[in-house]
């Protein structure tokens, strides 16, 4: 199974903004699953777990997981998210990593 790393904004100044971001990440994850990918999404992995550990620990874990994924997909208003920008920089530093926006991601193809 090809694993897609879904980079999607999480933080917001309001709890309603966070809820909207989580809903957007969930919708994107559903689409990726329907395209045949397994999905790891940091915004969903730590959703509403604020205060369990420092936010940086959640972000560091996401970066550790990224190299195990076949592709990184950027969702929503990721350009205005500090976390997504960090993920963007890391994704570009991983040799062979495929990088897409939600609008451009193709269906999964199982490896031969």
59-86 pLDDT, tens digit each: 899 999 999 999 999 999 999 999 999 9
Residue 109, domain member (yes or no): no
21 in Cβ contact with 7 (< 8 Å): no
CATH code where residue 91 lies: 3.40.50.10400
Range scoring the smallest mean pLDDT among 42-51, 58-67, 70-79, 91-100 = 42-51
Beta strands across the sheet bearing 71-74: 38-40, 3-7, 71-74, 98-101
Residue 83, domain member (yes or no): yes
Residue 36, domain member (yes or no): yes
Average pLDDT, the chain: 93
Domain of residue 44 covers 3-101
- Whether 32 shows a pLDDT value over 80: the answer reads yes
Q: For residue 50, what pLDDT is reported?
A: 82
Helix (H, G, I), strand (E, B) or coil at 99: strand
Q: How many domains does the chain have?
A: 1
- Whether 3 shows a pLDDT value over 80: the answer reads yes
The model carries a pTM of 0.92
Residue 108, domain member (yes or no): no
- Whether 112 shows a pLDDT value over 70: the answer reads no
Residue 107, domain member (yes or no): no
Please give the distance of CA 31 from its chain centroid, rounded to a whole number: 13
Residue 22, domain member (yes or no): yes
């Amino acid at each position: 199974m090809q694993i897609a790393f879904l980079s999607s904004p999480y933080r917001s100044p309001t709890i309603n903004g966070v809820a909207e971001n989580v809903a957007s990440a969930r919708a994107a994850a559903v689409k990726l699953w329907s395209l045949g990918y397994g999905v790891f999404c940091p915004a969903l992995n730590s959703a509403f777990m604020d205060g369990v550990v420092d936010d940086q620990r959640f972000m560091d874990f996401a970066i550790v997981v990224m190299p195990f994924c076949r592709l990184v997909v950027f969702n929503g208003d990721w350009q205005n998210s500090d976390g997504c920008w960090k993920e963007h920089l890391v994704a570009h530093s991983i040799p062979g990593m495929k990088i897409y926006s939600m609008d451009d991601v193709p269906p999964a193809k199982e490896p031969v």
